[in-house]
């Protein structure tokens, strides 16, 4: 086995040093009935055979590269600079352990610090942690923060938040004394102001909106932060990080906590994971932030030094009283995001936002001109919008896939009675020519 240096000769002399004749002599005490079970598994394949096998398996997948994909819905096909993988592929980064020994991990720690800085900037807030598993678990953690901070028991949740995220939140709160109340959206796809104010009262620990929401609509949150704070609750916003070069940030909306999915920052689609949960707060909440935090300090010679800090909050110290049970972040994904953001830089963040808007507004307009399809041109969007079709979406999807397109995500999978509506996402990766071809293909459906 080429991953293990121990040879039969090594084994013999090492066993001798241990004073035993065979390995199983070291395993006395294991009940005989349980010892050395038969493993029903295939035997090893050679590396050559595995490469052939995996290529064959991969060929059974279609991808956003061999299809023209307009899929969004929480996972986005963006341009990833080639330099990103050359950094995340550095052995010293991807095979490093968690930076509990700071002297041996300044690379990882400084990268996390820079990541935290960039995320806090994007969010318009003061503090960001080193990341969570994904946007949905970040959102659940934000809700837990609000519940603990206020001592209240209810979360008010917009039904226009991603369906998976709402499910995850409910799973996290199941079996606890905490409850979730949803408020609905109106015909335009934006949240219903009336329903929101109906649900807002002093029982609420935190209010959660997503913007742009699951339907791609940028939510009008004018006056919301004040209203939420007036009842003593926290405002939590779930946002699209790559939009924040042009779109109003959570801090500018008055949010206390901002969460989001960082996959759009230099992380490939990978069939849903590993992704990157973002979590940022105002300064006032810094001691309640779950997860890891990299801080800057000095070493014993006055040199700049990074270390994990505020660890007393973390599980491995507070045990039962931890702010959460997080034991890990998604460090390598955070590194990818950090490098990608550094490469985009100040001007690139703005430019990429504009390019997404440009493609989306253009495509939306073109689709609105097609008979058999309906689009609301008035709702503000970033890069996603809902299209209504005369025919059921399943039909549109079959026809379009046969022509090499993934036309979008059917809303019928998530919302009752929406079988004719689908969510179209277009990013900076599409050219005008591709968009025109897409529209032409839709026309033929």
| Helix H or strand E segment including 142 | helix 135-150
| CB distance 279 to 131 below 8 Å | yes
- Confirm or reject binding of residue 416 to other proteins (CB under 8 A): no
Residues 353-382 within binding reach of other proteins (CB under 8 A)? 354-355, 357-359, 361-363, 380
- Confirm or reject binding of residue 180 to other proteins (CB under 8 A): no
In the set 142, 158, 172, 393, which binds other proteins (CB under 8 A)?
172
Q: How far is the CB of 16 from other proteins (least distance, A)?
A: 10
Rounded distance between C-alpha atoms, residue 360 and residue 217, angstroms:
12
In the set 52, 54, 230, 284, which binds other proteins (CB under 8 A)?
54
DSSP 8-state code for residue 374: E
Q: How far is the CB of 262 from other proteins (least distance, A)?
A: 12
Please identify, using beta-carbon distances, which residue of 162 and 420 lies nearer to other proteins. 162
The number of angstroms, rounded, from the C-alpha of 243 to the middle of its chain's C-alpha atoms is: 14
In the set 149, 159, 227, 273, which binds other proteins (CB under 8 A)?
273
Q: How far is the CB of 210 from other proteins (least distance, A)?
A: 12
- Confirm or reject binding of residue 250 to other proteins (CB under 8 A): no
Residues 119-148 within binding reach of other proteins (CB under 8 A)? 120-122, 124, 126-128, 130-131, 133-137, 144
- Confirm or reject binding of residue 231 to other proteins (CB under 8 A): no
Closest CA to 182 of 155, 202, 206: 155
Closest CA to 162 of 231, 232, 263, 91: 263
Residues 278-337 within binding reach of other proteins (CB under 8 A)? 286-287, 292-301, 303-307, 309-313, 315-322, 324-333, 335
In the set 53, 181, 390, 395, which binds other proteins (CB under 8 A)?
53
Closest CA to 285 of 112, 127, 123: 127
- Confirm or reject binding of residue 272 to other proteins (CB under 8 A): yes
| CB distance 224 to 253 below 8 Å | yes
Three-class secondary structure of residue 231 per DSSP: coil
Closest CA to 339 of 110, 159, 128, 182: 110
Rounded distance between C-alpha atoms, residue 21 and residue 28, angstroms:
13
Strands 277-281 and 257-261 turn out to be antiparallel
Residue 55-84 contact track with other proteins, rule CB under 8 A, x = bound: x-xxxxxxxxx-x-x-x-xxx-x-x-x-x-
Q: How far is the CB of 265 from other proteins (least distance, A)?
A: 12
Please identify, using beta-carbon distances, which residue of 243 and 420 lies nearer to other proteins. 243
Three-class secondary structure of residue 37 per DSSP: coil
Assign residue 63 a region: left if phi > 0, alpha if psi is -120 to 50, beta otherwise?
beta
Please identify, using beta-carbon distances, which residue of 304 and 391 lies nearer to other proteins. 304
Residue 379-408 contact track with other proteins, rule CB under 8 A, x = bound: -x----------------x---x----x--
Q: How far is the CB of 82 from other proteins (least distance, A)?
A: 9
Residue 141's Cβ-side half-sphere holds a number of Cα atoms within 13 Å equal to 29
Q: How far is the CB of 199 from other proteins (least distance, A)?
A: 22
| Helix H or strand E segment including 277 | strand 277-281
- Confirm or reject binding of residue 44 to other proteins (CB under 8 A): yes
Q: How far is the CB of 120 from other proteins (least distance, A)?
A: 5
Radius of gyration of the chain (CA): 25
């Amino acid at each position: 086995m080429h991953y293990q240096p121990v040879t039969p000769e090594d084994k013999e002399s090492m066993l001798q040093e241990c004073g035993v004749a065979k390995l199983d002599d070291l395993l006395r005490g294991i009940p005989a009935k349980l010892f050395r079970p038969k493993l029903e598994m295939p035997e090893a394949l050679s590396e050559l055979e595995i490469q052939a096998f995996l290529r064959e398996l991969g060929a059974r997948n279609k991808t956003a590269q061999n299809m023209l994909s307009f899929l969004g819905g929480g996972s986005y096909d963006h341009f990833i600079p080639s330099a990103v993988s050359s950094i995340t592929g550095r052995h010293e980064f991807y095979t490093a352990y968690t930076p509990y020994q700071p002297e041996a991990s300044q690379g990882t720690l400084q990268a996390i610090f820079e990541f935290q800085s960039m995320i806090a900037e994007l969010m318009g807030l003061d503090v960001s942690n080193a990341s969570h598993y994904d946007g949905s678990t970040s959102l659940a953690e934000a809700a837990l923060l609000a519940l603990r901070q206020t001592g209240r028991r209810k979360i008010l949740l917009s039904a226009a938040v991603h369906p998976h995220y709402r499910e995850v939140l409910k799973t996290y709160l199941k079996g606890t004394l905490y409850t979730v109340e949803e408020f609905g959206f109106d015909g335009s796809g934006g949240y219903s102001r009336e329903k929101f104010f109906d649900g807002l009262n002093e029982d609420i620990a935190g209010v959660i909106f997503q913007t742009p929401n699951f339907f791609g609509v940028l939510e009008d949150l004018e006056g919301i932060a004040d209203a939420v704070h007036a009842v003593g609750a926290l405002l939590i916003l779930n946002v699209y990080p790559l939009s924040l070069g042009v779109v109003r940030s959570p801090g500018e909306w008055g949010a206390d906590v901002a969460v989001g999915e960082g996959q759009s920052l230099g992380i490939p689609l990978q069939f849903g994971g590993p992704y990157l949960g973002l979590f940022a707060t105002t300064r006032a909440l810094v001691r309640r932030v779950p997860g890891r935090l990299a801080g800057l300090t000095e070493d014993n010679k006055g040199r700049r030094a990074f270390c994990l800090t505020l660890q007393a909050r973390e599980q491995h110290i507070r045990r039962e009283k931890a702010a959460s049970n997080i034991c890990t972040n998604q460090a390598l994904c955070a590194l990818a995001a950090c490098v990608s953001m550094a490469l985009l830089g100040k001007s690139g963040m703005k430019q990429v936002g504009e390019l997404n808007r440009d493609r989306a507004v253009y495509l939306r307009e073109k689709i609105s001109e097609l008979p058999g399809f309906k689009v609301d041109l008035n709702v503000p969007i970033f890069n996603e919008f809902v299209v209504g079709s005369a025919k059921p979406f399943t039909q549109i999807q079959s026809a379009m896939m046969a022509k090499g397109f993934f036309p979008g995500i059917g809303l019928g999978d998530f919302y009752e009675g929406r079988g004719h509506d689908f969510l179209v996402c277009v990013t900076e990766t599409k050219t005008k020519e591709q968009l025109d071809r897409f529209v032409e293909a839709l026309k033929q459906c």
